Structure 1
Amino acid sequence: MRLKFTALAFACGLFTATAQDVSSTITQNEVTRIISTLSDDNMQGRASFTPGIEKAAKFIQAEFQRIGLKPLPGEDDYLQTFSVYRITPDEKEAKLNGKKISPENMFAITEKEEVEWKHKGKQKIVTIGENDDFRAVLRELNSSAEDVLVLVHPKHEETFSRYQHYMGRGSVKQQLSSEGGSKVFILTDQLQAKKYKLEVENNIEQLQLTNVGGMIEGKRKDEFVVFSGHYDHIGIQEALDGDSIANGADDDAAGTTAMMLLAEYYKKQPQPERTLLFVAFTAEEMGGFGSRYFSEQLNPDQIVAMFNIEMVGKPSKFGPNSAYLTGFERSNLGPLMQKRLEGTTYSIHPDPYPEQNLFYRSDNATLARLGVPAHTISSVQIDQDKTYHTVHDELSQLNMEHLTNMIRAIALASEGVVNGEDTPTRVDKSQVR
């Protein structure tokens, strides 16, 4: 779609990029080629620790090589690899007041390889009675450094089972802590522990995760502007109508595609004033481990802004060629983007779904907590979207014209920050949880 500039906007020099520059580089054919590859069945849903995500990383790496990006600061190549620990429950057994407890009525929250407790140990005993709030007690226990044996009344069986199932899938930690206490939960009608003996064993693996990142060095080498999207998704799921692959086309092959096309666009422009970092984050779906590691490699005070892109493959509630910015009120990056888009068919709006906490649900949150004007650009109507985290999040569900135009809009909206004319205000770290 052709951009429409007002004569006043053009005359005032609000845009150094032109409609022709944007449209000639960011084409619907290229958008389709990249997102089709990332969301193809042979990527197996790009779940962390799978061959599918490794294949996706190699594809993104090859594209960065073709574009001609440099590695990120401090890196030798495009792969920013780091280690995490996966904790998987192995065995558990217990006796309470001489009665054997079924493993289905136990779960543990611990980072230890083995927990072995006997009566008269140092463990605190907590009961969740019939009329107690299970979730409130759990939140309080999570902030405790003590070892705690938790006896849960059978009335809470449904909630207990959900947590037991969740914990049974295991967890991932960036670091293992020897200081935190272990919490062992037992569903029982015995709400006193006169005598107990229990043992919990975990399988702990050290595994690798990989961000894929590249750079265009600017004239101001130590002023960084980040463009990002997460390339992981949730992998293989329970089959629906014979389909078990959650392709993650909108979440977030769309955002990753946008980031890659923006890298190619800016590489074809004159050297930018600020250094541009383009990153495909890993493990967003598991808790943002990729963005967390990335943030630790840089001084956040040198990061001028972060344009994180997530789920931009479907039109927003504001109409064609529109998107919204999460945490719009936390800096003035949104108004700066809006100003750059004046006179075009594109628009950026405040997040219309504050109750969804979207500001905290993507990779921007890590850097925002460090004071960076880090926001996520999205267009998904999250309150109505039926394909989110399902096997139906496929390419056929996306509007390719809209996606292409969203990438063009971000190119124009980010121009002032890239060329050094716009510097957004910082996020107040004390107001970010």
Structure 2
Amino acid sequence: MKKICILLAFLVIALSCKKDNKPDSIETVKEKEQTLITSFDHTKIKKHLYTLASDEMEGRATGTPGIEKAAQYIENEFGKIGLNFYNNLTSYRQNFEYDKVKMFNIIGVLEGRSKKNEYVIISAHYDHLKMKKEGKDRIYNGANDDASGVTGVIALAEFFKTRNNNERSIIFICFTAEEIGLIGSKYFVKDIDASNFVAGINLEMIGKEAKFGPRTAWLTGFEKSNFGQLIQQNLEGSGYKLYPDPYKNYSLFFRSDNALFARLGIPAHTFSTTSIDLDPDYHKVTDEPETCNINALTEAIKAVAIGISSIVNGKDTPTRIK
């Protein structure tokens, strides 16, 4: 009788383990993803935005004390998150010189598990404009352009690090000197092996609601690869919608840091929410943190996390840009 009881106990344990090891359904996986996405800290996102766009940063123009302060802030956040350094760098800075001006991209890496030599880029530019020589308000704070994007990069780095199940490596880059000619991204791509780069999503001006309404965004160069379609598929059921770039006359696909990757065939696109044709604060001193919508910013960051999940996980690979 004792032997029978022992056998029954083992049988119960075995059946229990078998049940626990049963693969989750697609619906269950999506539910778990949605639960993880709610972990974005609204307060922390506001802190990043308000710090990077504060008067103390003096507009974050390239080569100024203000951009040095911004760089240090981003480096500190990457350090707290626990990102690795890029390639052979000994810090998060990729230093270089252009026209006798010392510049630096800020780069952190989260190594992938099974496909660590395949890279997904999440980027934004952290520079903005020089202060005005005179006037009551001389500082171009650059809250939406592009402290909002940098906030997204930091928040996504923390999210994916906490999640810690990315199969592909993720490179988080805050580029310098975008405003004066995409100089930081030009320097970064000059020595890379493009075949190792699977995709790039560049966050540009994501601090306001899009023309399509709440919980919507648009993607530049939508027709140039199927990256946007993959994001749309992953966003199904989330309540967030992604649209093709509605501002074709502005040639925005070629005007931000994604362009340097796209020229190498990498499916790299810019994700944005701002009505660029109607925004009263674009490249104005009025681009202050208070003009941004923290809820819209948070929702945009969540949408990116969901939208690129299947690419980061190694399930999907976007088509190359010809």
TM exceeds 0.5? yes
Question: Is 1:300–2:315 an aligned residue pair?
Answer: no
Q: Show the counterpart of 2:69.
A: 55
Among all aligned residue pairs of Structure 1 and Structure 2, give the percentage whose two residues are the same amino acid.
44
The one-letter code sitting in structure 2 at the alignment partner of 1:282 is T
1:278 aligned onto 2:176: no
Offset of 1:387 from its aligned partner?
0.7
CA distance, structure 2, for counterparts of residue 19 and residue 271 of structure 1 = 15
Q: Quick one: distance in 2 between partners of 1:23 and 1:320?
A: 17
Q: Note if contact 2:165-2:313 (Cα within 8 Å) is conserved in structure 1.
A: no
* Residue matched to 2:282: 388
Structure 1 equivalent of residue 44 of structure 2: 30
Distance 1:369 1:69 in 2: 28
- In the alignment, what sits opposite 1:198? none
What is residue 232 of structure 1 aligned with on the other side?
127
**How far 1:17 moved relative to its partner?**
5.2
Give the aligned CA root-mean-square deviation in angstroms.
1.5
Does the 8 A contact of 1:15 with 1:412 survive in 2? no
* Structure with higher strand content: 1
Structure 1 counterpart of 2:117, from 219, 222, 233 = 222
Equivalent residue letter for 1:415: S
In structure 2, list runs of 5 or more residues that go unmatched. Answer: 1-24
Cα pair 2:86 2:108 within 8 Å, conserved: yes
- Give 1:250's match in structure 2, choosing from 120, 140, 144: 144
Structure 1 residues 413 and 14: alpha-carbon distance in aligned structure 2, compared to 1, 3 A threshold: farther
2:9 aligned residue:
none
Deviation at 1:238, TM superposition (A): 4.9
Q: Return the offset for 1:16.
A: 7.9
Please state how far the C-alpha of 1:19 moved relative to its aligned partner: 2.0
- Per the alignment, residue 98 of structure 2 pairs with 84
Superposed CA deviations along residues 237-285 of structure 1, whole A, max 9, x for unmatched, are 2545x10100000000000000110000000013310000000000000
Q: What residue in structure 2 maps to residue 173 of structure 1?
A: none
Residue 40 (structure 1) aligned to one of 54, 73, 84: 54
Give TM-score scaled by structure 2 length. 0.90
1:207 CA drift (Å)? 2.2
Secondary structure class of the residue paired with 1:382? coil
Larger Cα Rg: Structure 1 or Structure 2? 1
1:74 maps onto 2:88 in alignment: yes
Alignment of 1:26-175 (within 5 A): 26-85=40-99
Partner of 1:406: helix, strand, or coil? helix
Partners of 2:59 and 2:139 within 8 A in 1:
yes
Structure 1 gaps of 5+ residues are 1-9, 86-205, 429-433
Instruction: Go from structure 1 to structure 2 and tell me whether the alpha carbon gap of 1:83 and 1:16 turns closer, same or farther (over 3 Å shift).
Output: farther
Question: What is the match of residue 116 of structure 1?
Answer: none
Structure 1 length-normalised TM: 0.67
Figure out how many residues of one structure are paired with residues of the other and give that number.
Answer: 298
Q: How does 1:345-360 map to 2 (within 5 A)?
A: 345-360=239-254
Matched to 1:400, the amino acid is: I
Structure 1 residues 238 and 207, CA gap change in structure 2 (3 angstroms): closer
CA distance in 1, matches of 2:28, 2:198: 22
Residues 160-197 of structure 1, C-alpha deviations (whole Å, 9 max, x = no match): xxxxxxxxxxxxxxxxxxxxxxxxxxxxxxxxxxxxxx
SS of 2:148's equivalent in the other structure is helix
* Over 6 Å off, 4+ runs: none
SS in 1 for 2:132: strand
Q: Taking structure 1 as reference, are residues 302 and 359 closer, same or farther at Cα in structure 2, changes over 3 Å only?
A: same
For residues 289 and 104 of structure 2, the distance between their equivalents in structure 1, rounded to whole angstroms, comes to 25
Residue identity opposite 1:23 in structure 2: T
